[in-house]
Amino acid sequence: MTPLLSIEEVSVSFSQHKRSIAAVRQVSLAVAARECVGIVGESGSGKTQVFMAVMGLLAANARADGSVRFEGHDILATAPEHLNRVRGSKLTMIFQDPMTSLTPHLKIGTQLAEVLVCHAGKSWSEARIAARRMLERVRVPEPIRRLNQYPHELSGGLRQRVMIGMSLLCDPMLVIADEPTTALDVTVQAQIIELLRAMREEVGTALVLISHDLAVVAGLADRILVMYAGRIVESATAVELFRHAQHPYTAELLKCIPSLSSPRLERLPTLAGQPPQPGDSLPGCMFAPRCSRAAERCRVERPLLAPTVGIARHVACHYPLPP
Amino acid sequence: MLRYFLTRLAGAVPTLFVIVTIAFFLIRAAPGGPFDQEQTLPPEIMANLQSAYGLDLPIWNQYGRYLGALVHGDFGPSFKYKDFSVTELIGQGFPVTLELGSIAMALALILGIPIGTFAALNHNRVADYATMSLAVVGIAIPSFVVLPFLGLAFGIYLRWLPVAGWEPGSIRHLVLPVVALALPPLSVIARLTRANMLEVLRSHFIRTAFAKGLPLHTVILRHALRPTLLPVASYLAPAVASIMTGSLVVESIAGLPGIGRYMVQGALNRDYTLVLGMVIIYSTLLILMGLVVDLLYAWLDPRVRLVR
């Protein structure tokens, strides 16, 4: 069975001052229908840029290589007119900051309805009715009043609900959620995660959840990919990853999650050193300078994403942590 | 909305009063008077003239009389254009200036905004550099150079349009002056639109609009244009001022019977009432423009509330 989305050897680089800076290096991954894949990594690990390339939303000075297939069609090389057949309808995206991601001078109703007018060929009045129903589905109170309000009249949580509703209007096959809860209050975060879970069960769409927060991803994702310095370093099911991380970086990340049961006044572990700057290149493993297990081989030979135990389990490390 | 409009209009009255007062005393502070000529007049005739126009009264008294007449809509008699009141002079010339100015303003907006958008969409490409270089030329070359050049090209060599002159209702006579007058604000608007459009195109909500799969023209027209136009709206008041000062030059070169010439001649002749009349007309226009800008702002950005 062909996966819904398959990303093969995708690299993204930005040209700046005549220099090319690599942000994503030969990333390959696949998302099956109805699957939820979590992408975890620090800022600058390239996790967002991979999916910006998928959506055709890279900045003007960026360049993407490789191949992205959605339902079997290559969408990386196509012109925007062709991409627009799936973009926004079958393939949608939710962004990090709901404060700035909605057009400030257009009413909520217009911003929702235009998706259906554009993709489903509905009239504005039909589309507005569908928009109202969608607001009910994403649990926005007083949907009729909200349709006539502007984004600044809504709270952050409500705006993110609107964004989620907007992404679901055309019954998408795949929704990409880029840090959907990062800009929100903690209590609202939980509500939004809950909403995403409910929507996934209701609609049956595949979901890519991009986050720097392992806890956010843990509750939703079937499978988690860990990215570091533009590459995927570990891939495992959520359960396996939390039970036993094989890549030292993943293990360190897991240690950094504060626990309510740990003794008080204990210092929260942090990862020593700095992540490599975008564009930095090392001959060996990019994590070697920060890795306690690094040996000479790690500095000269780049570890490839090698299958270890089981099918879904991959790790890019010469000396993975033993079980 | 109507209430806001009326309160703002009422608020303009004290502003105008201050402007009139400052202008009244400033022009009086200038040396010389309206009846000074190369040959000095005999003292008796001078005294007669002074008293006929009330210039022999103490200055506070003159000021009071001027304000009193102004409240009744009387701008007073012109000192230089004998037999004409300032109201008559402005009444004759203002429609011409207004027509010239508003067509130039409309042209600047109708062409400037699409040109700026076009340049932004071709950012860092030939079309961008070409239009923006032309815009710099448009800003840099004054209308008193552009207009004679246009007259030479289209009036004398090509013989398409009249070089100068005026016939009531004739569009052809207006073409060259309008183009010369519109060029600087058009260039500024094009540059402003380009810069802001580039800024807006980088914002998150534009990324959302593209992610929704909307075609480019919908993204530009529905999502990007209105926030782009906010700074352009702020420029409208200075643009009107620039067109007004531009029309002083353009009208005299093209021989149009507008009011532009009165500003310069009135000041040189110490034609006190005419200068004051012009000041009132121009400042009223600018104040009105400021109000229009605020209303535009409220339309362009729903977060702007008109509260008063």
Nearest to B213 among A87, A100, A102 (CB): A87
List Cα–Cα distances, B111 to B135, B192, B243, B307, in angstroms: 12, 13, 16, 33
pLDDT of residue A277: 76
Residue type, A231: R
pLDDT band at B137 (very low <50, low <70, confident <90, very high): very high
pLDDT reading at B238 higher than 70: yes
pLDDT tens per residue, range B259-275? 888 888 888 888 888 88
pLDDT reading at A261 higher than 80: no
B218 chain-A contacts, CB cut-off 8 A = 114, 118
Q: Determine the distance in angstroms separating the CA of A87 from the nearest CA of chain B, rounded to an integer.
A: 5
pLDDT of residue A262: 62
Q: Do B214 and A118 touch (CB under 8 A)?
A: yes
pLDDT band at A43 (very low <50, low <70, confident <90, very high): confident
Half-sphere exposure for B226 (CA within 13 Å, toward CB): 18
| A29 against A80, higher pLDDT | A29
Q: Domains of chain B, with CATH numbers?
A: 1-308 (1.10.3720.10)
Q: Locate B186 and state its tokens.
A: 């058009």
Nearest residue of chain A to residue B124 (CA atoms) = A60
pLDDT band at A52 (very low <50, low <70, confident <90, very high): very high
Once rounded to an integer, what is the mean pLDDT over residues B6-22?
Answer: 90
Share of chain B above pLDDT 90, in %: 34
pLDDT band at A264 (very low <50, low <70, confident <90, very high): low
Q: Do B211 and A92 touch (CB under 8 A)?
A: yes
Least confident window among A217-221, B5-9, B303-307: B303-307
Task: Give the torsion through C-alpha atoms of A130, A133, A138, A141, to 10 deg.
Answer: 130
pLDDT of residue A282: 79
pLDDT of residue B11: 87
pLDDT band at A307 (very low <50, low <70, confident <90, very high): low
pLDDT reading at A311 higher than 70: no
Q: Who contacts A209 (Cβ-Cβ below 8 Å, separation ≥6)? A: A36, A37, A38, A39, A177, A180, A196, A216, A217, A220, A221
The conformation of residue A44, written as its DSSP 8-state character, comes to T
pLDDT band at A260 (very low <50, low <70, confident <90, very high): low
pLDDT of residue A265: 58
pLDDT of residue A130: 95
What's the whole-number average pLDDT of chain A? 87
DSSP letters for A235-273 = EEEHHHHHH---SHHHHHHHHTS--TTSPTTPPPP---S
Please tell me the distance from the alpha carbon of residue A82 to that of residue A173, in angstroms, as a whole number: 17
Once rounded to an integer, what is the mean pLDDT over residues A93-113?
Answer: 92
Using a cut of 0.90, tell me whether the model's pTM lies above it. Answer: no
Helices (H) and strands (E) in chain A, counts: 11, 12
Nearest residue of chain B to residue A113 (CA atoms) = B212
pLDDT of residue B307: 64
Strand-strand pairing, A206-211 and A174-178: parallel
Sign of CA dihedral B192, B198, B200, B206: positive
Nearest residue of chain A to residue B210 (CA atoms) = A57
pLDDT reading at A263 higher than 70: no
| A97 against B216, higher pLDDT | B216
The conformation of residue A71, written as its DSSP 8-state character, comes to T
Q: Do B301 and A57 touch (CB under 8 A)?
A: no
Residue A47 contacts residue A209 (beta carbons within 8 Å) = no
Q: Do A106 and B222 touch (CB under 8 A)?
A: yes
- Residue B227 belongs to what H/E stretch? helix B225-254
pLDDT of residue B212: 94
The conformation of residue A302, written as its DSSP 8-state character, comes to P
Residue type, A74: D
pLDDT reading at A302 higher than 80: yes
pLDDT band at A98 (very low <50, low <70, confident <90, very high): confident
Maximum average pLDDT range among A93-97, A114-118, A315-319:
A114-118
| A258 against B208, higher pLDDT | B208
Q: Report A:45-104 residues touching B (Cβ under 8 A).
A: 55-57, 60, 80-81, 83-89, 92-93, 95, 97, 100-104
* CATH architecture of the domain formed by A5-101+173-259+267-315: 3-Layer(aba) Sandwich (3.40)
pLDDT reading at B199 higher than 90: yes
Least confident window among A2-11, A95-104, A279-288: A279-288
B296 chain-A contacts, CB cut-off 8 A = none
Once rounded to an integer, what is the mean pLDDT over residues B159-185?
Answer: 84
pLDDT of residue A92: 95
A97 chain-B contacts, CB cut-off 8 A = 204
pLDDT of residue B174: 85
Please tell me the distance from the alpha carbon of residue A83 to that of residue B137, in angstroms, as a whole number: 40
pLDDT of residue A45: 87
Share of chain A above pLDDT 70, in %: 94
Task: Give the torsion through C-alpha atoms of B167, B171, B172, B174, to 10 deg.
Answer: 80
Give the domain ranges of chain A.
5-101+173-259+267-315
Q: Who contacts A162 (Cβ-Cβ below 8 Å, separation ≥6)? A: A98, A102, A108, A111, A112, A135, A138, A140, A146, A151, A154
Q: Do A100 and B205 touch (CB under 8 A)?
A: yes
Please tell me the distance from the alpha carbon of residue A109 to that of residue A51, in angstroms, as a whole number: 27
Maximum average pLDDT range among A164-168, B10-14, B71-75, B270-274:
A164-168
pLDDT reading at A298 higher than 60: yes
Strand-strand pairing, A174-178 and A91-94: parallel
What's the whole-number average pLDDT of chain B? 88
| A219 against A105, higher pLDDT | A105
A80 chain-B contacts, CB cut-off 8 A = 210, 216
Nearest to B205 among A86, A92, A102 (CB): A102
pLDDT of residue A1: 60
pLDDT of residue A20: 87
| B258 against A166, higher pLDDT | A166
A105 chain-B contacts, CB cut-off 8 A = 226-227, 300-302
pLDDT of residue B249: 87
pLDDT of residue A103: 94
Nearest residue of chain B to residue A84 (CA atoms) = B213
Nearest residue of chain A to residue B217 (CA atoms) = A81
Q: How many CB atoms lie within 10 A of CB B213?
A: 24
Q: Do A86 and B213 touch (CB under 8 A)?
A: yes
Once rounded to an integer, what is the mean pLDDT over residues A110-139?
Answer: 94
Q: Determine the distance in angstroms separating the CA of A253 from the nearest CA of chain B, rounded to an integer.
A: 29
Nearest to B208 among A81, A86, A95 (CB): A95
Q: Locate B235 and state its tokens.
A: 């420029």
Please tell me the distance from the alpha carbon of residue B19 to that of residue B284, in angstroms, as a whole number: 10
pLDDT of residue B190: 96
pLDDT of residue B225: 94
| A141 against B170, higher pLDDT | A141
Q: Do A87 and B203 touch (CB under 8 A)?
A: no
List Cα–Cα distances, A138 to A55, A94, A122, A135, A175, in angstroms: 23, 14, 21, 5, 15
B213 chain-A contacts, CB cut-off 8 A = 83-89, 115, 118-119
Q: Determine the distance in angstroms separating the CA of A26 from the nearest CA of chain B, rounded to an integer.
A: 24
Q: Report A:113-132 residues touching B (Cβ under 8 A).
A: 114-115, 118-119
Please tell me the distance from the alpha carbon of residue A76 to that of residue A281, in angstroms, as a whole number: 25
Least confident window among A101-110, A135-144, A268-277: A268-277
| B74 against A175, higher pLDDT | A175
